[in-house]
A and B are shown apart, each in its own frame.
Chain A
Amino acid sequence: MYSEKVMDHFNNPRNVGEIENPSGVGTVGNAKCGDIMRIYLDIDNQGVIQDAKFKTFGCGAAVATSSMATELVKGKTVQEALSVTNKAVMEALDGLPPVKVHCSLLAEEAIHAALWDYAKKHHIGIAGLEEPVADIGQREE
C-alpha cells in the first residue's frame, strides 16, 4: 500500500522529538480524524532553519510525511521553507495512496503553523504565509 520511501520514513523516522525553547512550534490536526502533528523549529538570527523536530499521532503516512517535511525544511530559510508544500512532501516520498493525501496537507500546515508561531514571537511578517488552520478537516469542508 505504501511506497518504500514511506515505509522507510515510517520505520526510521527522522527528527522525532522536541526542541527546548523552540523558535516556533505548531500543532495541527484533529484527534477526531486520527492525526495530530506537532513541528518544532529552531531558527537562527539569519532566518535559517537550523533544526526541525516533530511528534505525530497518526497512521503510517502521517508519520512519514512529518519525517519528510522536517527533513525538507532543515537548512532552508524561512522564506524557502514555504516552498515545502504538500506536493513537495508527497513527491519526496514517491507518492501516497489517495486516501492519505490529507496527511501531506497536514505536514505542510504543521510547518506553516510553526513558522507562524515564529513570526508572531518575533513580531515579523513572512511574505506569503497565511495564518494556518489548526484543523485541516475544517478547511476541506
Chain B
Amino acid sequence: MNKINNLIYLDNAATTKVSEDVLNAMLPYFTQVYSNPSSVYSFAGKAKKAVDEARVQAAKLINAGAEEIYFTGGGSESDNWAIKAVCEAYREKGRHIITSKIEHHAVLHTCQYLEKQGWEVTYLDVDESGMISLDALKAAIRQDTVLISVMAANNEIGTIEPVAEIGKIARENGVLFHTDAVQAYGHLALDVEKMNIDLLSASGHKLNGPKGVGILYVRKGVKIHPLLHGGAQERNRRAGTLNVPGIVGFGKAAELAKAHMEKTMARETQLRDYLITRILTEIPYCRLNGHRTGRLSNNANFCFRFVEGESLLILLDQLGVCASSGSACTSGALDPSHVLLAIGLPHEIAHGSLRLTLSEETTVEELDFVVDGLKKIVARLRAMSPLYEDFIKGQKEGDCNVQ
C-alpha cells in the first residue's frame, strides 16, 4: 500500500505514477537546460541533443527509426493527427476508413468527424472476447480504402488485437495501417517492421512518463499533413515549441519500459491471474470481460451482476482503492461503455463493470485487501438491489416448479 496517501492505486490504465528515474531525467530541463531547442546558440544545442536522444529511445521500443518519431501533446492528439492528416493526404485514393467498434473515443470521434466530411467508415464488430475478425477485416477492404485503424490493446477490457495479422492484411492490400497503442506501448512487445505498422500512437503517462506528451510514429514514405501549423518543429510536421522536459521524460520512460518489459509483464501477469482467479471463484454471479489470456498483463475487468458500477467505485474509494468502471453513471451518459456493449453484454450487466489495472508496484497484499473488500461491497449492494431480489425470488420459484 502507498504509505503516504494510504492508497491502493489500481487505475494504471487511466494514468501512471511518474517514476523517480523519469522525474530525475526531466528535472534539469526545467531550470538548467531550459533553452528552446530550435534556437541557434550552443545553449539550445543541449536541449536539442536531449530531444534527439529521447527520439531514439522512443523509436527503439517499437523498432522504428528515430526520424519516424514525432512528438505530440499526447495520445489523443496522435490519434487525431494520424487519422485526419493521412486521410487528407490520401483523399485522391478514396474516402473509406476501417476501424473497430471498441476503439478509444479519440479514434471513434475522429472517424465520426470524418464521416460528416463525407468519408465512409466501417466499424468492425468484435467477438465476445473483444477481438476483431480478420475475415471481416478482409471483407471490409475496398478499392477506395485509405486507412485501417485498429487499436493494439483495448483500454477497458485489455484485449490484445492481432496487430501483426492486421498489418499483413493491410500491406497485402496496399492500405495504410494505424494502431492506437496508447495502452500497449511499453507494456507489450511491438515491432513496426515485423507487424507492418504504418502509424502508431502512444502516450507518455501510460508508462510511468509525464502527462501531456505522446508520439506518433509515421513510417518513412507515408504522406502526412501537419495537424498543427505555425512552426518548423518536428520536420515541419508539428508546430509548437518542443516540450523538452516532457520529451526527455517520455524517452526515459520508453527506455526503462524496454529494459524491464519482460520482467514486469511476467510479474503483472502472475498478479493479474491471481486477482482474476480469486474474484471469479469467491464472488458469485460475476464474469471476466475481455480475453482470458490474450490481454494486457496489467488489466482485469469484471462485471458483477445486479450491482451498479458507480456505487462500487464510491465504496471502494472509501477503502482507499482507486478503480474505474464502464458504468454510464461514471461518465454522465445514459449508456454504459461502448466496449462492453460491443462484446455483447446487456445494458444492466455492463452497468456493473469494474476495471482494475495493476502497476509494477502492485502487491499480493494489496490485491487480497481489494478482493476481501470487494466481496463485502458486492454483497452489500446486492442486498439493496431489486434486480437481485427478483433473481433470488425467481430462483426459489424455479425450485418450486422442480418439485
Extra inter-chain contacts (6) besides given A13-B384, A31-B387, A32-B334, CB under 8 Å? A33-B335, A34-B327, A38-B389, A54-B384, A59-B311, A60-B311
The answer to the question of A65 belonging to the interface, with a C-beta cut-off of 8 Å to chain B, is: no
Q: With the chains together, A61 CA to B327 CA distance in Å?
A: 14
Complex Cα distance, B314 from A31, in Å, reads 20
On chain B, the residues within 8 Å of A59 by CB distance are 308-311, 327, 329
Q: Is the CB of B383 within 8 A of A99?
A: no
Q: Is B328 located at the chain interface by the 8 A CB criterion? A: yes
Measured CB to CB, the closest approach of chain A to B33, in angstroms, equals 41
Which of B307, B314, B335, B386 meets A27, CB within 8 Å? B386
Q: How far is the CA of A84 from the CA of B191 in the complex (A)?
A: 62
Closest to A29 in B: B386
A16-B383, A59-B327, A59-B329 given as contacts; is B336 within 8 A of A34 (CB)? yes
* Interface assignment of B118: CB less than 8 Å from any CB of chain A: no
Give the contacts of B364-399 with A (CB-CB under 8 A).
383-389
Taking a contact as CB atoms under 8 Å apart, the answer to whether A57 and B386 are in contact is yes
Contact B384–A34 (Cβ < 8 Å): no
B3 to chain A, nearest CB (A): 26
- Closest beta carbon of chain A to B383's beta carbon, Å: 7
| CB contact list, B296-318 vs A, under 8 A | 306-311, 314, 318
B311–A37 CB distance below 8 A: no
Q: Which residues of B contact A5 (CB under 8 A)?
A: none
Residues in A neighbouring B388, C-beta threshold 8 A: 57
Contacts of B347 in A (CB 8 A): 31-34
Task: List 27 contacting pairs A-B, 8 Å CB cutoff, sorted by A.
Answer: A16-B384, A31-B346, A31-B351, A32-B334, A32-B347, A33-B347, A34-B308, A34-B329, A34-B347, A35-B308, A36-B387, A38-B389, A55-B384, A55-B385, A55-B386, A55-B389, A57-B306, A57-B348, A57-B386, A57-B388, A59-B308, A59-B311, A59-B327, A60-B310, A60-B329, A63-B311, A100-B329
B307 to chain A, nearest CB (A): 7
User: By the criterion CB–CB under 8 Å, are B384 and A56 in contact?
Assistant: yes
For chain B residues 251-307, which have a beta carbon within 8 Å of chain A?
Answer: 306-307
Answer whether residue B221 sits at the interface, using C-beta atoms and an 8 A cutoff. no
Q: How far is B388's CA from A104's CA once the two chains are assembled, in angstroms?
A: 22
* A 105-140 contacts with B by CB, 8 A: 137
Q: Is the CB of A31 within 8 A of B384?
A: no
**Contact status of A62 and B386, CB under 8 A, knowing A31-B347, A34-B336:** no
Judge whether B329 and A57 touch: CB under 8 Å. no
Do A57 and B334 touch (CB < 8 A)? Answer: no
Q: Residue-by-residue, is A1-28 near B (CB-CB < 8 Å gives 1, otherwise 0)?
A: 0000001001101001010000000010
Minimum distance in angstroms from A41 CB to a CB of chain B: 15
- Determine the chain B residues whose CB is within 8 A of the CB of A11 once the complex forms: 318
> Is A58 in contact with chain B by the CB < 8 A criterion?
yes
Indicate the member of A18, A57, A62 with the most B CB atoms within 10 Å. A57
Measured in the bound complex, the distance between the Cα atoms of B347 and A37 in whole Å is 16
Chain A residues with a Cβ closer than 8 Å to the other chain, count: 28
A interface residues, Cβ below 8 angstroms from B: 7, 10-11, 13, 16, 18, 27, 31-38, 54-63, 99-100, 137
- The answer to whether A99 and B307 touch (CB under 8 A), given A56-B385, A57-B386, is no
- Interface residues in B308-359 by Cβ distance below 8 A to A read 308-311, 314, 318, 327-329, 332, 334-336, 346-348, 351
Q: Which residue of chain B lies nearest to A16 when distances are taken between CB atoms in the complex? A: B384
Q: Report the Cα distance A37→B389, complex, angstroms.
A: 12
Q: How far apart sit A54 and B385, CA to CA, in the bound complex (Å)?
A: 9
Residue of A nearest to B383 (CB): A16
Interfacial chain A residues near B307, Cβ < 8 Å: 57
What does the 1/0 interface line of B230-251 toward A look like (CB < 8 Å)?
0000000000000000000000
A87 to B328, alpha carbons, bound, how many Å? 23
* Bound: A18/B384 CA distance, A: 9
8 A-B pairs with the lowest CB-CB distances in the bound complex, closest first = A31-B348, A59-B329, A59-B310, A34-B351, A38-B386, A55-B386, A32-B347, A99-B332
CB distance from B289 to the nearest CB of A (A): 16
Residues of A with C-beta under 8 A to B306: 57
Min Cβ gap B270→A in Å is 34
Are B329 and A18 in contact, CB atoms less than 8 angstroms apart? no
Are A36's CB and B314's CB within 8 A?
Answer: no
Q: How far is the CA of A59 from the CA of B308 in the complex (A)?
A: 6
Closest B-chain residue to A54, C-beta based? B384
Q: Which residues of B contact A31 (CB under 8 A)?
A: 346-348, 351, 387
Contact of A57 with B308 in the complex, beta carbons under 8 Å: yes
Give chain B residues whose Cβ lies under 8 Å from the Cβ of A7: 314
Q: How far is the CB of B305 from chain A (nearest CB, A)?
A: 10
* Inter-chain contacts of B346 with A (CB < 8 A): 31
CA distance A11 to B380 in the complex (A): 11
**A31–B307 CA distance with the chains assembled, in angstroms:** 10
User: Given contacts A57-B306, A57-B307, A59-B308, are A33 and B386 in contact (CB under 8 A)?
Assistant: no
Nearest chain-A residue to B385 (Cβ)? A57
**B383 to chain A: which residues have CB within 8 Å?**
16
